[in-house]
A and B are shown apart, each in its own frame.
Chain A
């Protein structure tokens, strides 16, 4: 009797969780479904499932505008994100190794400064950074989006890796030192291979944040040929209401696809990464 009641309450709980989950996913499902509907059906059809199924939206959207297709925008986003990921992995792990394993003068000072920069809102450095980049003639290039990542500017990932490296037993270092490793080779032979999970977490988050980083892309890129996906979508979209909604939604689906695929493929690293470090 008791177990049956428990089963019931468990079932009710599951149903409730599933219902809320579906409500949560509704916007995403709506987006997906509408992208396959003909333009005139998008706002009139109440049901999610398209009555008339069409790929026209994708074809129309992909064309882009003024002769530049979305292939270009996707290529730009991919290039920027890939270089950003690489930069963060390389430079953040270098800094993290120094903080976690090496002894040097003013270490405490640098480390606390690093912690402070994590909490710093980027607006407070925004204007001078813009001026610096414009003095370097880097406006309308990808450098402002990539170079900071190659200077370990996302201190968050430095901290993530420092904490991870601290969890690696020091005995490994010691025995490697006896076997003739110096501090440089220690990094490459011992720390880096063991750091891979943290590197993957960093890579995933850097990718997603760079892919979605509408603000900096908007500030630094105005040349249509350099547009990223986010800028392309914003340009397709007309707030006053005369957008080609089908095309807009189709491209929106495509823009979310890379992030979703990466998330599903690396879920474990992803959710554990958030749980242990409190990312975002």
Chain B
């Protein structure tokens, strides 16, 4: 009995690992190996032509003490994340709530609002965005109706960040769809009961909708932060592709790309990548750590 069971487990093992084989190869050759590889390379000077030259922590030292572009790109990316993530989630939540209450034509509206998320990642839309925010573009014409003279959003380094943020906020549809699904899960009798108790709409929102939605919000927040940090195409196409004008489009990923693939300073680029990984991990960690104070799980295990 015992031996047959063991051999059964062995065949199970073998079949399971056969099924898992492509993923395992991918994990070792494309994820774990390269991760360790880039950790090693970040401690070297390497330009792809000659073999890596060990320099210890010099790359990191230079980055933190003597690289103003790094500081600038980090600040810029943080600004972008801090502006675009909350705006995007607030828009998504507001529209989702407007669409939620058994509205007619929901399917059509949902589709229309999702279209930007669908197309927004393409080079084509980034190019369109340049025109819309051009100094003669529709945005400034619209502002003109109210007597506001809009700046040249694209060409002026002080303003370039805002069209890029707008492009991200414009794609709130994907978060909205997730919110819609979350809203549907909230039992209607909670609202009825609170109405009987005399709660108004605003109170219902803060006491029922928002708490019940926190798990979805939590998930959305983490994914949006991680994705926003990696934004590349908008910065590349709305700027001039080299971080300009005056480094106004020098997002972190763009800087990393330029270091690695334009200047072929692969060691330096790897160090930048590891710093980015740590930043994202810390941000995610903070959101996770605070989650027990604000994320409410309906199953009674509050925040655990």
Contacts and interface: CB of A to CB of B under 8 A. Distances in A.
Given A123-B230, A127-B38, A263-B118, A117 B128 contact: no
B129 interface: yes
A119 interface: yes
A214 B230 CA distance: 13
Select the residue from B33, B95, B128, B219 with max chain A CB neighbours within 10 A: B128
B107 to A, nearest CB: 8
A259 B119 contact: yes
A276 interface: yes
Give chain A's interface secondary structure class.
helix
A110 to B, nearest CB: 7
Interface stretch (A63-71, A78-86, A94-102, A193-201): A94-102
A259 B118 CA distance: 8
Interface stretch (B21-29, B188-196, B206-214): B21-29
Interface stretch (B66-74, B75-83, B273-281): B273-281
Interface stretch (B56-64, B177-185, B197-205, B292-300): B177-185
A150 interface: yes
A88 to B, nearest CB: 11
Select the residue from A92, A152, A264 with max chain B CB neighbours within 10 A: A152
A233 B111 contact: no
Interface residues of B, number: 90
Interface string B67-105: 000000000000000000000000000010011000111
Contacts of B253: 123
Contact of B17 (A30, A104, A129, A150): A104
A280 B227 contact: yes
B177 A271 contact: yes
Contacts of A117: 27, 31
Contacts of B19: 94-95, 97-98, 102, 187
B219 A278 contact: yes
B243 to A, nearest CB: 12
Given A128-B41, A275-B178, A183 B15 contact: yes
Nearest to A219: B261
A151 B29 contact: yes
A153 B20 contact: no
A105 B233 contact: no
A194 to B, nearest CB: 17
A31 B25 contact: no
Interface of A: 10, 13-14, 16-17, 20-21, 24-28, 30-31, 43, 46, 90-92, 94-95, 97-99, 102-105, 107, 110, 113-114, 117, 119-132, 134, 148, 150-153, 155, 158, 182-184, 187, 208, 212, 214-215, 219, 230, 233-234, 237, 239-240, 248-249, 251-253, 255-256, 259-260, 263-264, 267, 271, 274-276, 278-280
Which 6 pairs across A and B sit closest by C-beta, in order of nearness?
Answer: A151-B26, A252-B124, A128-B37, A275-B181, A104-B16, A128-B34
14 contacts: A24-B170, A27-B129, A28-B115, A107-B16, A113-B27, A121-B226, A121-B273, A123-B253, A125-B30, A125-B34, A130-B260, A187-B19, A248-B127, A275-B178
Interface of B: 9, 12-13, 15-17, 19-27, 29-31, 33-35, 37-38, 41, 48, 95, 98-99, 103-105, 109-119, 121-125, 127-129, 131-132, 136, 138, 141, 170, 174, 177-178, 180-181, 219-220, 223, 226-227, 229-230, 232-233, 236-237, 239-241, 253, 256-257, 260-261, 266, 269-270, 272-274, 276-277, 280, 284
Given A25-B112, A27-B170, A124-B274, 12 more contacts: A17-B103, A27-B116, A102-B12, A121-B229, A124-B35, A127-B270, A128-B38, A130-B266, A183-B15, A252-B124, A275-B177, A280-B223
